[in-house]
Amino acid sequence: MKKIAEFAPDAIDYLDEHHNKIWYRCGFYEKSKCAIKELNTISINLKLVKVVRSDEDFAEVTLLDDWNNQKRHTVDLAHNSCSCREWQVTGKSCKHALAWILSNRGLQIADYVHEYYSVARFRAAYEGRVEPFPDRSQWPEVDLGYKVFPPLLGRAAGRPKVQRIRGCLEGKATKKKVKCKRCGDFGHFAKTCKLAEHDSDGEIGGSSKNKR
């Protein structure tokens, strides 16, 4: 954030005015929970360097990032927080917290996940009545003051497709077969026919034209 403010201070003012809720992750409210990859998959692929224990709850965790650079953060199990702030924002333990949890015997990953992801919260979200919707023709018309156009699509790379994608209930396309005029079989032309040709005298392999 500081680097962006030093390089382009006008960009910060513009983003704060027009996109103050969605443009940067570090500005997320810590009580809003976002879904991330499953914790078990993350714990298997941890690139742990070392864990320095301070007490039962605090520790310094050093991990390797995707570019093999060492990054160190402090983890507090008592308050479910990490200096990288991923744990506070998402409600799920970050990589540093997972490394510290797995280093302690008797600790379970599920005990350090926010109750937002619990089955009880899921059931509570859908225990009420879901209001029905009328037909689209009965929806109220709202004048937005502007017209919304579809996004501009560029041409995709490669040769464009000629045949359309058929539905699952449609049959396969019937391909037109070529017929040979010499032998009458399908699948090849007379020019590539392998059937022996008879000349006017009835001999095989003869030709009326002189070869040069």
Domain assignment present for residue 177? The answer is: no
- Given this model, what pLDDT does residue 88 score? 92
- Out of 31-40, 146-155, 157-166, pick the least confident: 31-40
Nearest-CA neighbor of 84 among 66, 61, 67, 103? 61
Q: 22 and 35 in one domain? A: no
Q: 116 and 56 in one domain? A: yes
**What's the domain range around 1?**
1-27
Domain assignment present for residue 130? The answer is: no
Domain assignment present for residue 63? The answer is: yes
Q: 97 and 17 in one domain? A: no
Q: 48 and 14 in one domain? A: no
- The CA distances from residue 28 to 17, 22, 112, in Å, are 16, 8, 20
**Highest mean pLDDT: which range of 13-22, 70-79, 168-177:** 70-79
User: pLDDT class for 211, splitting at 50, 70, 90?
Assistant: very low
Instruction: State the average pLDDT over residues 171-196.
Output: 81
In the numeric block, which tokens belong to residue 172? 């396969």
- Given this model, what pLDDT does residue 156 score? 80
Domain assignment present for residue 145? The answer is: no
In the numeric block, which tokens belong to residue 47? 């690139």
- Given this model, what pLDDT does residue 3 score? 76
Q: 47 and 3 in one domain? A: no
Domain assignment present for residue 195? The answer is: no
Spatial CB neighbours of 52, under 8 Å, sequence gap ≥ 6: 59, 60, 61, 62
Using DSSP's 3-state secondary structure scheme, residue 198 falls into strand
Is the model's pLDDT at 196 over the cut of 80?
Answer: no
Cβ(77)–Cβ(101) under 8 Å?
Answer: yes
User: pLDDT class for 77, splitting at 50, 70, 90?
Assistant: very high
Is the model's pLDDT at 210 over the cut of 60?
Answer: no
- Given this model, what pLDDT does residue 76 score? 94
CA quadruple 40, 46, 51, 54: dihedral positive or negative? negative
Instruction: State the average pLDDT over residues 1-18.
Output: 77
Spatial separation of the C-alpha atoms in residues 201 and 105, rounded to whole Å: 97
pTM: 0.48
Question: pLDDT per residue over 32-54, tens digit each?
Answer: 454 445 677 777 778 888 899 88
> Among residues 122, 149, 168, which one ends one of the domains?
122
User: pLDDT class for 97, splitting at 50, 70, 90?
Assistant: very high
Q: 55 and 20 in one domain? A: no
Domain assignment present for residue 83? The answer is: yes
Domain assignment present for residue 211? The answer is: no
Is the model's pLDDT at 207 over the cut of 70?
Answer: no
Q: 69 and 21 in one domain? A: no
> Among residues 61, 93, 122, which one ends one of the domains?
122
DSSP code for 62: E
Q: 116 and 35 in one domain? A: yes
Number of domains in the chain: 2
Domain assignment present for residue 179? The answer is: no
Using DSSP's 3-state secondary structure scheme, residue 58 falls into strand
Q: 92 and 57 in one domain? A: yes
